[in-house]
Amino acid sequence: EDKVVQSPLSLVVHEGDTVTLNCSYEVTNFRSLLWYKQEKKAPTFLFMLTSSGIEKKSGRLSSILDKKELFSILNITATQTGDSAVYLCAVEGTYKYIFGTGTRLKVLA
């Protein structure tokens, strides 16, 4: 059965800390893995990963995919209170997307 598992479920850190969020998956005919940030409303797209070992970076956020071990990590360095959100991972297989349950990150001032 196809599935996407994110860990941890919830995380509380202080401003300035670095966090690593994990996403592991089992999907038939993997096409891509996507990361999103969701605050109060619709998600914001962060990254799409299709190739193993190539880091994608955007400011303090970065992500990498390991297609052999079937996981991805999302790193956030020097966290800020504005990073508080639910981070969703989704994996695209043939004709479908499967979302993980998300990691709820709370950054304290």
Partner 1 sequence: GAVVSQHPSWVICKSGTSVKIECRSLDFQATTMFWYRQFPKQSLMLMATSNEGSKATYEQGVEKDKFLINHASLTLSTLTVTSAHPEDSSFYICSAFSGQGRETQYFGPGTRLLVL
- 3-state DSSP assignment of residue 81: helix
- Are 5 and 100 spatial neighbours (Cβ–Cβ below 8 Å)? yes
Residue in 14, 66, 101, 106 binding partner 1, rule: CB under 8 A: 101
State the number of CA atoms in the 13 A half-sphere of 102 facing the CB: 13
Which one of 3, 14, 60, 96 is in contact with partner 1 (CB under 8 A)?
96
d(C-alpha 84, C-alpha 56), whole Å: 21
ω before 43 within 30° of 0 (cis)?
no
Residue (85 or 102) nearer to partner 1, CB: 102
Interface residue with partner 1 among 1, 45, 68, 69 (CB under 8 A) is: 45
Interaction pattern, residues 60-89, with partner 1; x per rule: CB under 8 A: ----------------------------x-
Q: Tell me if 41 contacts partner 1 by CB under 8 A.
A: yes
Our finding on whether 102 is near partner 1 (CB under 8 A) is yes
